[in-house]
Amino acid sequence: MKTLPILRAAAVRLGSAAVVLLCVATVAFFLVRLSGDPVKVLLPPDATAAQEATLRASLGLDRPLAVQYLDYLWGLPRLDFGTSLFYDQPVATVLLERLPATLELAAAALAVALLIAVPAGILAAVRRGRAGDTGVMAGVLIGQSTPPFWVGILLILVFAVQFRILPASGYGTAAHLVLPAVTLAIYSVAVIARLLRSALIDVLGADYIRTARAKGLGTGAVVLRHGLRNASLPVITVVGLEVGSLLGGAILTEQVFAWPGVGRLTVEAVANRDFPLVQATVLFFAATFVLVNLLVDLSYTLLDPRVRVAE
Amino acid sequence: MARPADRITRRDALRLGGATLSALALPGLLAGCGGAAAGGGSDILRLAQSADPQTLDPQKQGDMVSMNVLVNIFDTLTAATPQNTIGPGLALSWTALDPKTWRFRLRRGVAFHNGEPCGAEAVKFSIERLLDPETRSPIVELRFVEGATVVDPYTVDLHTSEPDPILPAKVSLFGGVILPPKLLAETPPEEFARAPVGTGPFVFESWRRAHEVRLRANTDHWNGPPGVGGLVFRPMPNAASSLAAMQSDELDIVTGLTPDAALQLDGYPGMRIESHPGIRTAYLSLDTEDGPLRHRKVRQALNHAVNVPLLIEAVLDGKARELPTMIPRESFGFDKAVEPYTRDVGTAKRLLADAGYPDGFATTITASNEDANVAEAISGLLAEAGVRAKVALLDPGTYSTRLTSANKRALGPIYLAASTGWTMDGQSLVQSNVRSDRRQSRWDSAEADALIDAQEQSVDPEEREEAFAALQRLLKKEAPFVFLYQLDNIYARNARPRWEPGVTGSLTMASAELEEA
């Protein structure tokens, strides 16, 4: 019987997610059309008006806006996002071609972020107010306030140009993944470590921690088994949001490392006024966020028995 | 009712989380062992461009970045020579049978990479495919071409609706690419666009979107095998990273650098910045039908005020050449008898006073944000003559939308424009912005219209040259533009490659060689 509320909640969430995505799809559709004309970008400036009209008609951009909009909406449930104006290929094909690189980068960056942030956050919380805490927090603050393109270039100069132990850019092997993943992870490290620190400090002051200590558990066991687990809830929320931004926020990192991901594709699509492709990438990012949020919400009920889905 | 065993417990979720975490961490840990990509010392030449090709179907692209890759896989009917003239490609010779018919005689014994022979039928097929609205080609130069007829297996006629004296030059790139008819009859176009087959000096090998295009040498090419064993084109949107990639020996040539980027890198070990004459021509378009710019003296004053040599020195690091009008030196029709304006603020001020603007006037210069530095510098130079020009910057997409909008004032009274006349004929520079009925023209001059008609409709080189000379004198006198410069093509390279690029800046790499490492 207990599974039912979860299912019902999931259904409600999915319904509202669909509404959100519909809104995003609509806004993207109209906004991108306000910003310019893909035919003008595709054709050189010395094209004649007649040549423009021919191309516009063959791309279907001469149809009334309402017709184009309905056509677009009609395609969405069937996952038909139209044909990219610039690449002359189905948008889904173009997007799927770039997706693996983005997923790889986001996963690696998240792994790096957690590997650094979790120990750093714990250290800062346990050593609160002491040198360890100050050091970690200062490092984290520097990481958070340096722009990724600068960090990226710096890492390239040190590890690729100076020491030549890692490739400067490109894609393909695990070695290519290291520098972009680290660059992308730095901001997330800061966010996660800071939140973990404050959550853990809260928890470590709680009565049950005192009880745990009183019954003779060592500091490590207290912090890891009782502290970290109870502090993990807010952290998981933030990690979820970070997954969203890692997937969508890699634009600068992808530019710097010539990484063939969705972020760069989005920038190119906007520059080319590639309407269907812009619509699809915006929708992709929105869907990612919605999905991650949904998973985070649902994970609460599994992680914390006190959280019950409202019926 | 679900049994407890089917449910994921908190404990399980946490354990699963831990396992996923370590799995994700693995590539990060292993990666350290990889080391930098190899490539130096081989016979593969690696180039970086700012972007990836749009598509590898040569008739469905219209940008230089795609063409730069395709020009190595495909041959064109004609081709630019190292002397910056139009020479033979797949066609050995061409003549105008009449003003509306061009006859091309083709090279014999040419085959596509799949063995399919290339002759008059292939030319006819390619031209017709290009013109077919179904192809949705963004290539616009062949606007007068109506069709092609096969005279014999190695002779083909192109028919135009209007005289097109520079048709042979127009088939030296985009529209002149010849495709294999038989293969395309059997292959869906999407497939061809991913694995193109041409007659060119390099054979397509692989393309991973946004990562790299690989080509290998075509040892059976009619012009002999190319000088390198293969090419790799890598899209690198960020100039600083591409130069870093070159320093860590992942690239041999970085193309399409701005003077800014080149300046930052000059002097780095192992890196040579090379600046070659180019034909990308920059100018300011003036709205001669409104406000102070209606007065010829005002327009002349602006030309005197914008100190182009200083602009080139200070903003472009000397990597451009001053131009008297807007026809670049290497183009057919350039008249060296026409001198650039003298740059003198005093003269500019006097002309402004004569025209009734002793205190100058306020105006706006619109530019694409890629040209921000130049626009700001021009504004500064104009200010010295009393012309207060505010700079309005637009992103390139918005800029190009407005540039060709029906409203000729969409970019304001003055805008900074540039165009690459890769046909190396003056016509390409003046075709859409001078004659009063053209889309970007903001000048109504019967004399200019007549001269444009003269060079566009005659197939006699001498007549055309005369018309161009008269046009350049008229342009200088009437000053419907502020004439600026032709920009160099700037590359960075390491010690390996030897390659002499042409003025169009197209990356025809068959003649490139690599030094033995």
ipTM attached to this prediction:
0.86
- Please check whether residue A227 lies inside any domain of the structure: yes
pLDDT confidence of B517, banded at 50, 70, 90? low
Mean pLDDT across the stretch A255-273?
A: 90
- Please check whether residue A28 lies inside any domain of the structure: no
Pairing of strands B212-217, B230-235: antiparallel
* SS3 at position B498: strand
pLDDT score recorded for residue A3: 59
Write the pLDDT tens digit of every residue in B497-512: 999 888 999 999 999 9
Q: Which of B28, B237, B401 is facing A37, going by the closest CB pair?
A: B401
- Please check whether residue A59 lies inside any domain of the structure: no
pLDDT score recorded for residue B147: 95
CB contact at 8 A, A91 and A283:
no
pLDDT confidence of A219, banded at 50, 70, 90? confident
Handedness of CA B206, B208, B209, B212 (dihedral sign): negative
The residue of chain B nearest to residue A261, with distances taken between CA atoms, is B210
**Sequence-ordered list of residues with C-beta below 8 angstroms from that of B243, at least 6 positions apart, any chain:** B254, B261, B265, B268, B271, B492
Query: What does the alpha-carbon distance between residue B119 and residue B111 come to, in Å, rounded to a whole number?
Result: 9
Counting one residue from chain A and one from chain B, the pairs whose CB atoms sit within 8 A come to 223
pLDDT score recorded for residue A308: 58
> Which positions 341-400 of B are in contact with A (Cβ < 8 Å)?
395-398, 400
Task: State whether residue B229 sits within 8 Å of chain A by CB.
Answer: no
Choice between B11 and A123, residue whose per-residue pLDDT is larger: A123
What CATH number is given for B75-197 in this structure?
3.90.76.10
**Sequence-ordered list of residues with C-beta below 8 angstroms from that of B5, at least 6 positions apart, any chain:** none
Helical segments of B237-342, H only:
239-247, 259-265, 296-305, 308-315
What CATH number is given for B32-69+200-252+494-517 in this structure?
3.40.190.10
Write the pLDDT tens digit of every residue in A44-98: 888 888 899 999 998 899 999 999 999 999 999 888 999 999 998 999 999 999 9
Q: Where in chain B is the domain with CATH 3.40.190.10?
A: 32-69+200-252+494-517
Write the pLDDT tens digit of every residue in A155-178: 998 998 888 899 988 888 899 999
8 Å CB contact of A257 and B240: no
8 Å CB contact of A304 and B248: no
Handedness of CA B180, B184, B190, B191 (dihedral sign): negative
8 Å CB contact of A87 and B51: no
Tell me the sheet residues that pair with B276. Answer: B489
Write the pLDDT tens digit of every residue in B453-466: 999 999 899 999 99
Tell me the sheet residues that pair with B497. Answer: B514
- Assign residue B419 a region (left: φ > 0; alpha: ψ between -120 and 50; beta: otherwise): beta
- Please check whether residue A62 lies inside any domain of the structure: no
Please provide the average confidence, as pLDDT, over all residues in chain B: 90
Give how far Cα B400 sits from Cα of B247, B326, B367, Å: 35, 20, 10
pLDDT score recorded for residue B31: 34
> Which positions 33-52 of B are in contact with A (Cβ < 8 Å)?
33-37, 51
Q: Which residue range forms the structural domain that includes residue A157?
A: 91-271
Q: Which of B14, B248, B405 is facing A160, going by the closest CB pair?
A: B248
8 Å CB contact of A260 and B54: no
Task: Indicate whether B8 pLDDT > 60.
Answer: no
pLDDT score recorded for residue A115: 94
Question: B11, B12, B24, B249: which to substitute to probe chain A, counting the most A Cβ within 10 Å?
Answer: B24
> Which positions 234-253 of B are in contact with A (Cβ < 8 Å)?
234-238, 240-242, 244-245, 247-250
Task: State whether residue A10 sits within 8 Å of chain B by CB.
Answer: no
Query: What does the alpha-carbon distance between residue B55 and residue B96 come to, in Å, rounded to a whole number?
Result: 33
Give how far Cα B59 sits from Cα of A57, A88, A300, B460, B506, Å: 18, 11, 54, 30, 17
Neighbours of A174 (CB within 10 A): 18
Write the pLDDT tens digit of every residue in A4-56: 677 777 788 888 889 999 999 999 999 999 888 899 888 888 888 889 999 99
Mean pLDDT across the stretch A110-138?
A: 90
The count of domains in chain A is 1
The residue of chain A nearest to residue B24, with distances taken between CA atoms, is A111
8 Å CB contact of A257 and B241: yes
Amino acid at B76: T
Burial of A205 (0-12, 13-18, 19+ CB in 10 A): exposed
* Percent of chain A whose predicted confidence (pLDDT) is above 90: 40
CB contact at 8 A, B26 and A174:
no
The residue of chain B nearest to residue A48, with distances taken between CA atoms, is B439
Query: What does the alpha-carbon distance between residue A169 and residue A259 come to, in Å, rounded to a whole number?
Result: 7
Neighbours of B489 (CB within 10 A): 23
Supply B339's token pair.
Answer: 């001198």
pLDDT confidence of B332, banded at 50, 70, 90? very high
Query: What does the alpha-carbon distance between residue B114 and residue B73 come to, in Å, rounded to a whole number?
Result: 12
Write the pLDDT tens digit of every residue in A143-156: 888 888 889 989 99
Q: Where in chain B is the domain with CATH 3.90.76.10?
A: 75-197
Q: Residue B162: list chain A partners with CB under 8 A.
A: none
Choice between B270 and B48, residue whose per-residue pLDDT is larger: B48
The residue of chain B nearest to residue A86, with distances taken between CA atoms, is B54
- Please check whether residue A255 lies inside any domain of the structure: yes
Write the pLDDT tens digit of every residue in B256-300: 999 988 887 777 777 889 999 999 999 999 999 999 999 999 999
For residue A223, what is the domain's CATH number? 1.10.3720.10
- Please check whether residue A101 lies inside any domain of the structure: yes
What CATH number is given for B278-489 in this structure?
3.10.105.10
> Which positions 188-247 of A are in contact with B (Cβ < 8 Å)?
229, 232
Q: Where in chain B is the domain with CATH 3.10.105.10?
A: 278-489
Flag the least confident range among A221-225, B186-190, B417-421.
A221-225
CB contact at 8 A, B209 and A260:
yes
pLDDT score recorded for residue B26: 35
- Please check whether residue A52 lies inside any domain of the structure: no
The residue of chain B nearest to residue A50, with distances taken between CA atoms, is B143
- Please check whether residue A39 lies inside any domain of the structure: no
A18-56 CB burial, b ≥16 within 10 A, e <16? eeeeeebbeebbeebbeebbbbbbbbbbbbbeebbebbb
Write down the pTM of the prediction.
0.88
Supply A216's token pair.
Answer: 């003779």
Q: Which of B13, B133, B397 is facing A271, going by the closest CB pair?
A: B397
pLDDT confidence of B46, banded at 50, 70, 90? very high
Q: Cα B34 vs. chain centroid, distance in angstroms? A: 38
The residue of chain B nearest to residue A271, with distances taken between CA atoms, is B397
